[in-house]
Amino acid sequence: MTPTHALPAVLQKIDADLDQSLERLFEFLRIQSISTDPAYKDQCQSAAEYVAKDLSGIGFKTSIRPTEGHPIVVGKGSPRANGKAPRVLFYGHYDVQPVDPLALWETPPFAPRIATLPDGRKIIVARGACDDKGQVMTFIEACRAFTAVTGELPLPITMMIEGEEECGSNHLFGFVKDNADEFKLDLALVCDTSMWDPTTPMVTTSLRGLVYEEVRLTCADRDLHSGLFGGAAQNPLRVLARILAAMHDDSGRVTIPGFYDGVKELPPDIKADLKGLDLTPANFLAEVGLKVPAGENDRMLIEQIATRPTAEINGVIGGYTGEGAKTVIPAEATAKVSFRLVGAQDPQKIRAAFHSFVRARLPADAKVEFKSFASAPATDLPFDNPALAKTRAALAAEWGKKALAIGEGGSIPIVGDFKRVLGMDTILVGFALDDDRVHSPNEKFDLTSFHKGTRSWARILAALAA
Amino acid sequence: MTPTHALPAVLQKIDADLDQSLERLFEFLRIQSISTDPAYKDQCQSAAEYVAKDLSGIGFKTSIRPTEGHPIVVGKGSPRANGKAPRVLFYGHYDVQPVDPLALWETPPFAPRIATLPDGRKIIVARGACDDKGQVMTFIEACRAFTAVTGELPLPITMMIEGEEECGSNHLFGFVKDNADEFKLDLALVCDTSMWDPTTPMVTTSLRGLVYEEVRLTCADRDLHSGLFGGAAQNPLRVLARILAAMHDDSGRVTIPGFYDGVKELPPDIKADLKGLDLTPANFLAEVGLKVPAGENDRMLIEQIATRPTAEINGVIGGYTGEGAKTVIPAEATAKVSFRLVGAQDPQKIRAAFHSFVRARLPADAKVEFKSFASAPATDLPFDNPALAKTRAALAAEWGKKALAIGEGGSIPIVGDFKRVLGMDTILVGFALDDDRVHSPNEKFDLTSFHKGTRSWARILAALAA
């Protein structure tokens, strides 16, 4: 029985097993695998073990590969007769974002539950419900259904589920490079992106890159009383404010010298397509309480979030931040700053330019230390890759609507390495929605995204195997 | 026996009782009376009770007066025959600053100890060792010695020891106003200021005022993923950085419209005196690790810290500030900002001008909330007050060196009210040193400051009573 012939039965199996699929997902969601915080190291290990055990149960040959950070789960499975089906690498991550501010969660972040929205949509609520545990499980559940119905996977699949995506994938790059022969397959698949809207599927054909930096400024060798020293002592918060404020000009353009090197203008026809989508503040920003696009003021909203580079301040701390008043001039101030990259922007050059930009603005008595986190260039999928057409057709069949092919604003750093190191294109299909509160309190994943996402992957796998 | 006749015996008594004086101070220092943090409410009450009990032991008629915040200790005592001695009000505070960052303390902040510096100076180390428990106890010990030797106080003294100085003295103003008849005496004395240097005593003849504000900016109604929304969503940290950076121009001058209204130039002769002090970065800033004055660049260092107004950022927090990287656009950002005022600057006008300054810089989608803490104008002591000459003479007798009369940069808000509400001038004498780490980890008070400070007060009280 070919995967195409088996597909109707596989879809039926997915529908019939939905409750058990959710139980498995909930078990996964209960594991507090916050990768960026060392306090959760054991929980990350538990999440890796959970995934490995689950994949073994479907017949994957599984291993938990240690790194200097959190481990990477690798699983390999294949049908008895390969034919000419492409060998695919599926990439996802078992780690999740921190949960702060915890007080804003309506229920505990690691106690998953089903809830119903006022508009009747059923949702899965938990940290990681969408990013990326819920999305990863749509793929695993599709594999499971195929195996249950046909006794084997529809095509050769290697799974790579890492545990450091939310803190920069620091050890994945070396792992892929060191084991390039093992992972040099025909095509990569990733499920960590969004739908265009709740009824319109989408293949993400470009991703912004990322550079993430921490800047720590110090001045005096201790905290000072602002009455005694105020006026004479350099204040690192003031220095930091001036640096951060200087990163953008009044038009919203980033001012760091050389920042836009490698940024190309979109071809007019693609730009017209983007304009045709009619993404407006009312249908994109309003749902998070905003009204006016804050990016480069000569760009469409869709460009600002998908095809233009950005500089963003992700966190600042310094001085007294408790309740009440303290008249202190702090000894230090710290900011986390990140850049989304597009086109051929070079992460190393951007990082160096940012460091120079900061150093050039240090007054006497201010010293700086940098910590570098993630660094990845932007990536693009060629529009003529045949897997793209097959995937779009499969998605259209499931959702009854043409699947868009479009760039997205987020970064999945490893996708660039799949291309550069392993020579593989990546098909990015995901079922997140704009209101999923990814990285925020009360993260959710629509039950429809989970269910029809699983069905979508079954269809995509059958299409790729044909 | 007149106070003047008793003085030699009183000074002898102070010397003989130094160890017991230190034991009493240590007991006071062990009380964790952090007023700004509601978690320490009971400890503030304990500190008030400690002071009240100690004063009662010297013969003061004592009461613990409740406020809506921490209570105020009032003690009243008088010699049997008043003569024409002035009735004095002594003001101090039993509350202390928070101890963060705790990790930088070499020993626990509320476990006082005597240590020896490399240069041989003996110091008392603890939060509050100087500000203001150590300083308050110099006055109380002087009173105790007089009572022990003569059986009574040298002149009529009313004690007012409050518990909210470190968080804005919010309830003291109303208390003084509501009980003006009780406290309308001849002269106020305060022990919460510094020496010029370890061997040069000083009367502080002017104090900068203070306005302390908290600014909270909000944009989106939740934290956002910078990949999905970055470029389009307004970031409150970026708005905050631009506002804070705009508060000073490149010359170090505050840019808030009207900020300098009421700031007078010093008379040329006073300015010459200040210049003669030759306060240099090497002898003022170097000991805290700084080299270059950061204030208005056309002003002397002594002006920057003592006679010019300032705007200072005391704390900033927003977004992800934990370990590692999180690609978030935060929903809110908060800053604490304070202003030191001089001359006739009006706190209410400064506050209003700052609010307008912030509101004028809010882009679309940014909202602001303000919290107002302390607010007090600057104060000056007339140079012709006869108590000033007596005090300077008494200090000179103790330290063997002319006592300076000079302005200081810190704020003691109630001093302004003593003048406006009670019609009293205030003599500010203190024994703090520049390296006391006031408000910082490892706060200390020189044993010499404590011992000779006590002797100084005995001499001042005798001089005022004569």
The answer to whether the Cβ–Cβ distance between A314 and B226 falls below 8 Å is: yes
Give the per-residue pLDDT at B404: 83
Mean pLDDT of chain B: 94
pLDDT tens readout for residues A352-370: 999 999 999 999 999 999 9
Three-state DSSP string of chain A: CCHHHHHHHHHHHHHHCHHHHHHHHHHHHCCCCECCCHHHHHHHHHHHHHHHHHHHHCCCEEEEECCCCCCEEEEEECCCCCCCCCCEEEEEECCECCCCCHHHCCCCCCCCEEEECCCCCEEEECCCCCCCHHHHHHHHHHHHHHHHHHCCCCCCEEEEEECCHHHCCCCHHHHHHHCHHHHCCCEEEECCCECCECCECEEEEEECEEEEEEEEEECCCCCEEHHHHCCCCCCHHHHHHHHHHCCECCCCCECCCCCCCCCCCCCHHHHHHHHHCCCCHHHHCHHHCCCCCCCCCCCCHHHHHHCCCEEEEEEEEEECCCCCCCCEECCEEEEEEEEEECCCCCHHHHHHHHHHHHHHCCCCCCEEEEEEEEEECCEECCCCCHHHHHHHHHHHHHHCCCCEEEEECCCCCHHHHHHHCCCCCEEEECCECCCCCCCCCCCEEEHHHHHHHHHHHHHHHHHHHC
DSSP code, position B38:
G
Sort out which chain B residues have CB atoms less than 8 A from A240's CB and list them. Answer: 241, 316
Minimum Cα–Cα distance from B309: chain A residue: A231
Q: Note whether A285 contacts B233, CB cutoff 8 Å.
A: yes
ipTM above 0.85, yes or no: no
Beta carbons within 10 angstroms of residue B17's beta carbon:
17
Contact A195, A397 (CB under 8 A): no
DSSP strand pairing (B157-162 vs B88-93) = parallel
| Contact criterion met (CB < 8 Å) for A294 and B326 | no
Separation of alpha carbons B320 and B330, rounded Å:
8
Fold of B3-208+378-465: Aminopeptidase (3.40.630)
Question: Which residue in A122, A118, A318 sits closest to A215, CA to CA?
Answer: A318
CB contact under 8 A, B439 and A316: no
Nearest to A168 among B325, B330, B374 (CB): B325
Above pLDDT 90, what percent of chain B?
80
What are φ and ψ of residue B404, in 5° steps?
-75, 155
Question: Residue A79's pLDDT band (boundaries 50, 70, 90)?
Answer: very high
Q: Say what percent of chain A tops pLDDT 90.
A: 80
pLDDT of residue B287: 87
For residues B202-219, give the mean pLDDT: 93
The model's pLDDT over A215-243, given as tens digits with 9 standing for 90+, comes to 999 999 999 988 889 889 999 999 999 99
B292 contacts A363? CB cut-off 8 A: yes
Q: Report chain A's mean pLDDT, rounded to a whole number.
A: 94
Pick from A288, A320, A411: CB nearest B222: A288
Contacts of A37 in chain B (CB under 8 A): 322-324
Task: Tell me the three-class secondary structure of B223-238, residue by residue.
Answer: CEEHHHHCCCCCCHHH
Interchain CB distance below 8 Å, A340 and B305: no
With cut-offs at 50, 70 and 90, classify the pLDDT of residue A35: very high
Q: If you average pLDDT over residues A368-376, what whole number do you get?
A: 91
Q: Which of A327, A412, A443 is the best substitution to test chain B (most B C-beta atoms within 10 A)?
A: A327
Cross-chain residue pair B329–A312, CB shorter than 8 Å:
yes
Q: Which residue among A247, A310, A328 sits closest to B230, beta carbon to beta carbon? A: A310
Report, as an integer, the average pLDDT of A190-204: 92
Nearest to A226 among B214, B338, B408 (CB): B338
- Of the given ranges (A39-48, A81-90, A141-150, B425-434), which has the lowest mean pLDDT? A81-90
Q: What DSSP character marks residue B86? A: P
Give chain B positions within 8 Å (CB) of A219: 289-290
Residue type, position B167, single letter: C
Average pLDDT over residues B113-117: 97
CB pairs A-B closer than 8 Å: 354
Say if the Cβ atoms of B317 and A316 lie within 8 Å. yes
Residues in A touching B235 (Cβ below 8 Å)? 294, 312-313
Query: pLDDT value at position B216?
Result: 98
Tokens matching residue A400: 């009854």
Alpha-carbon distance B183 to nearest alpha carbon in chain A (angstroms): 27
pTM of the model: 0.72
pLDDT of B234 = 96
Question: Worst-scoring range by mean pLDDT, A270-274, B170-174, B333-337, B377-381?
Answer: A270-274
B78 and B156 in contact (C-beta within 8 Å)? yes
Q: Which residues of chain A does B127 touch, with a Cβ-Cβ cutoff of 8 Å?
A: none
Q: Tens digits of per-residue pLDDT, B71-108?
A: 999 999 999 986 789 999 999 999 999 999 899 999 99
Best of A135, A210, A224, A259 to substitute, by most chain B Cβ atoms within 10 angstroms, is A224
Show me where the domains of chain B are located: 3-208+378-465, 209-263+309-376
The Cα angle at residue A268 between residues A267 and A270, in degrees rounded to 5 = 70
B337: three-class secondary structure by DSSP: strand
Q: What are phi and psi of B214, to 5 degrees?
A: -115, 135
Residues in A closer than 8 angstroms to B168, CB to CB, are 324-325
Q: Which of A224, A305, A324 sits opposite B229 (nearest CB)?
A: A305
Domain B209-263+309-376 is in which class?
Answer: alpha beta
**How many other β-carbons are positioned within 10 Å of the β-carbon of residue A154?**
28
- Check A290 against B434: CB less than 8 A apart: no
Which pLDDT value is given to residue B82? 66
Chain B residues whose CB is inside 8 A of the A220 CB are: 288-290
Give the span between the Cα atoms of B387 and B83, in whole angstroms.
17
**Taking 80 as the threshold, does the pLDDT of residue A96 lie above it?**
yes
Chain A CB contacts of B163 below 8 Å: none
Half-sphere exposure of A108 (CA within 13 A, CB side): 6
Q: Which of the residues B164, B328, B434 would you substitute to probe the A interface, choosing the one with the greatest number of A C-beta atoms within 10 Å? A: B328
User: Could you give the C-alpha distances from A77 to A2, A269, B356, in angstroms and in order?
Assistant: 17, 42, 65
Q: Do B220 and A308 count as a contact with CB atoms less than 8 A apart?
A: no
Hey, are the CB atoms on B232 and A285 less than 8 Å from each other? yes
Quote the pLDDT of residue B402: 84
In angstroms, the separation between the Cα of residue A282 and the nearest Cα of chain B is 12
Q: Is the peptide bond before A221 cis (omega within 30 degrees of 0)?
A: no
**Mean local confidence (pLDDT), B277-289:** 89
Q: What is the pLDDT, as a whole number, of residue A399?
A: 97
| Chain B residues close to A308, C-beta within 8 Å | 231
pLDDT at site A278: 80
Amino acid at A404: L
- Condensed to tens digits (0 to 9), the pLDDT of residues B401-435 reads 988 888 877 777 788 889 889 999 999 999 999 89
Note the pLDDT of residue B51.
98
Contact B409 A228 (CB under 8 A): yes
Of the candidates A100, A290, A318, which has its C-beta nearest B316's C-beta?
Answer: A318
Q: Of B116 and A271, which is predicted with more confidence?
A: B116
> Which of the four pLDDT bands, split at 50, 70 and 90, describes residue A288?
very high
Model confidence at B297: pLDDT above 90:
yes
- State the pLDDT at residue B276: 82
For residue A360, give every residue at least 6 positions away whose Cβ sits within 8 Å of its Cβ, in sequence order, or none. Answer: none
* A223 contact residues in B (CB cutoff 8 A): 101, 439-441
Summarize pLDDT for A132-180 with one digit per residue, the tens: 999 999 999 999 999 999 999 999 999 999 999 999 898 999 999 999 9
Longest dimension (CA), chain A: 83
- Contact by Cβ (8 Å): A411, A212: no
Q: Is B449 left (phi over 0), alpha (psi -120 to 50) or beta?
A: alpha
Q: What is the pLDDT of residue A82?
A: 66
Whole-number Å distance between alpha carbons of B81 and A60: 99
Across the interface, whether the CB atoms of B232 and A305 are under 8 A apart is answered: yes
Nearest 10 degrees: CA dihedral of A34, A39, A42, A46? -20
A330 touches A223 (CB < 8 A): yes
Output the pLDDT for position B334. 98
Which segments of B230-321 does DSSP mark as H helices, in order? Answer: 236-245, 268-276, 281-284, 301-306
- The pLDDT assigned to A442 comes to 96
Architecture per CATH, A3-207+378-465: 3-Layer(aba) Sandwich (3.40)
Q: Considering only CB atoms, which chain A residues are within 8 Å of B212?
A: 325, 327
Interface touch B295/A241, C-beta < 8 Å: no
**A320 vs B284, B291, B336: nearest CB:** B336
Q: Indicate the SS3 state at residue B428.
A: strand
Judged by CB atoms closer than 8 Å, whether chains meet at A295 and B232 is answered as yes
User: What is the CA A32 to chain-centroid distance, rounded?
Assistant: 18
What is the distance between the alpha carbons of residues A328 and B338, in angstroms, rounded to a whole number?
9
CB contact under 8 A, B226 and A312: yes
User: With bands split at pLDDT 50, 70 and 90, how would you rate the model's confidence at A317?
Assistant: very high
Per-residue tokens: B427: 């003599």
Number of residues in chain B: 466
Q: Residue B78: what residue type?
A: S
CB contact under 8 A, B320 and A100: yes
Write the single-letter amino acid at A20: Q
Report d(CA B301, CA B307) in Å as an integer: 10
B339 bridge partner residues:
B211, B311
Model pLDDT for residues B38-56, shown as the tens digit of each residue: 999 999 999 999 999 999 9
Q: Say yes or no for a CB contact (<8 Å) between B315 and A310.
A: no
3-state secondary structure of B205: strand
Average pLDDT on B234-243 reads 98
Cα B324 from chain centroid?
38
Nearest to B227 among A208, A316, A334 (CB): A208
Q: Give the closest of B322, B410, B437 to A37, CB-based.
A: B322
Q: With left for phi above 0 and alpha for psi between -120 and 50, is residue B258 left, alpha or beta?
A: left
